[in-house]
Structure 1
Amino acid sequence: MRQRGPSVQEEHAPNSICFGCGPANEDGLRIRSFRSESGLEMEFSPKAEHRALSPGMINGG
């Protein structure tokens, strides 16, 4: 999914420091949500520090 323009979070809470989706939290997951015909779609690009077990894998906890 490639979206253009600001995410829902960037539009409505640009200063949020939420760990999951806060645009202002440099150390968070930086999840971005976008409106779609069926509701919302999210975008997440894991950083190296989110890796677990082996390269290319992440662990949800």
Structure 2
Amino acid sequence: MQIAIQDLYPESHSHCFGCGRSNQDGWHLKSYLAGDKTLAHFTPKPQYTGGVPGHLYGGAVASLLDCHGTASAAAFRYLQNHSDLTDSSKIQRHITAQLNVKYIAPTPMDVELTIAGELISIEGRKVKVLLTLSAGDKLCAEAEMLAVGVD
């Protein structure tokens, strides 16, 4: 069974609302390697609706992209020096330095969303990731992230 990237974070860094396994009230987003990309799936609950009825709040869209992006950055950087991720991998937590989100279409509430990440570049502790959030075949948002590894 493939392990989620977030499950490889040290316990001291597993409290994030969006993806932290130790946050009992959080979303527990799980991101996985899929070839040279990363993927996560999330079905929003009704309380996260936005200004347009039946659609996801824009801040939640950014949050999903943010959590998946930092996980993607951590995995891509780890894989720069290792062949794969295992349940004993010790990956370095990354934080967002910049997230530029482009909202393309309203994000529906009643479907499973797919968040994908692709590596753009790695320069030392800095990792750039291209992110998309889709509902089925409909692209709802895309973003470019700059994430930085934390000591």
Normalised by the length of structure 1, the TM-score is 0.63
* Matches for 1:19-58 after TM superposition, within 5 Å: 19-53=17-51, 54-55=53-54, 57-58=55-56
Q: Which whole-Å deviations, capped at 9, do the CAs of 1:29-53 have from their partners, x for residues lacking one? A: 3221001112211222212221223
Deviation at 1:5, TM superposition (A): 4.4
Q: Describe the SS at the equivalent of 2:58.
A: coil
For 1:8, the equivalent position in structure 2 comes to 5
For 1:17, the equivalent position in structure 2 comes to 15
Q: Which structure shows the bigger proportion of residues in helix conformation?
A: 2
Contact kept? 2:17, 2:28, Cα under 8 Å: yes
Q: Which structure shows the bigger proportion of residues in strand conformation?
A: 2
Taking only the aligned residue pairs, the percentage that are identical comes to: 30
Structure 2 segments unaligned to the other structure (5+ residues): 60-151
* Distance in 2 (alpha carbons) for counterparts of 1:49 and 1:18: 19
Larger CA Rg, structure 1 vs 2: 2
* Distance in 2 (alpha carbons) for counterparts of 1:45 and 1:25: 18
Contact kept? 2:2, 2:32, Cα under 8 Å: no
Q: CA RMSD in A?
A: 2.2
* Distance in 1 (alpha carbons) for counterparts of 2:10 and 2:48: 23
Q: Describe the SS at the equivalent of 2:47.
A: helix
Higher relative contact order (CA 8 A, sep 6+): 2
* Distance in 2 (alpha carbons) for counterparts of 1:14 and 1:48: 31
* Distance in 1 (alpha carbons) for counterparts of 2:19 and 2:5: 10
Deviation at 1:18, TM superposition (A): 0.6
Normalised by the length of structure 2, the TM-score is 0.31
* Distance in 1 (alpha carbons) for counterparts of 2:48 and 2:24: 13
Q: Describe the SS at the equivalent of 1:52.
A: coil
